[in-house]
Amino acid sequence: MRSLFKTSMLAATLSFAGITHAASMEVSFDIPQVTTGKYARPYVAIWAEQGKESKPLLVWHLQGKEDKWLKDLRRWWRKIGRYDAHVDSLTGATKGPGHYQETLDLGDWSEFTLYVEAARENGGRSLVKTKVDLNSATQYSIPADAEIGPIQISINP
């Protein structure tokens, strides 16, 4: 009897495991070389919004006492930064000019707006976004802006 119960529970677990749609996406982008006075590496935040919900996906920033510029990621700060304690698990150090590719976990979200925001100390600020629907496309592009190069998004179901 106990063996039958365990088998039934295992079968139920496996059948429900396919119901949720967990996906990830690869986001590739460039941080452009800026030729102005003193160059500071940009803070970068990537997150998704679905209705009133926000899901942080990546944040590059300084850590410690010098991290006073995090609030310059204005939209990210208003939506997530000042509220979310678990953001630290998604953070990394700021990075200089170059090409970057990040794999980000979407969980079970299938329709959302993806935001990418970049800001530099005493420099510019960029905020770009695109609507993403996992049921209709697997490739998305966002044109370059002042502080961030063109962005390519590939969905991995």
Cα–Cα distance measured from residue 11 to residue 13, given in angstroms and rounded to the nearest whole number: 5
Q: Please, are residues 117 and 69 in contact by the beta-carbon 8 Å criterion?
A: no
- Rounded to whole angstroms, what are the CA distances from 145 to 2, 119, 120? 62, 11, 13
According to the model, what pLDDT value does residue 65 have? 66
What is the model's pTM? 0.81
Q: Tell me the per-residue pLDDT of 102-138, one tens digit each, with 9 for 90 and over.
A: 999 888 898 999 999 999 887 889 999 999 998 887 8
CA 44 – CA 61 distance, rounded (Å) = 7
CB 147 within 8 A of CB 126: yes
Please name the helix (run of DSSP H) or strand (run of DSSP E) that holds residue 26, with its range, or none. Answer: strand 23-31
pLDDT tens digits along 54-105: 999 999 988 776 677 788 899 998 888 887 656 666 778 889 999 999 999 8
Domain boundaries, the chain: 38-149
156 has pLDDT over 50:
yes
Q: If you average pLDDT over residues 20-25, what whole number do you get?
A: 71
* 122 CB-contact burial (10 Å; exposed 0-12 / middle 13-18 / buried 19+): exposed
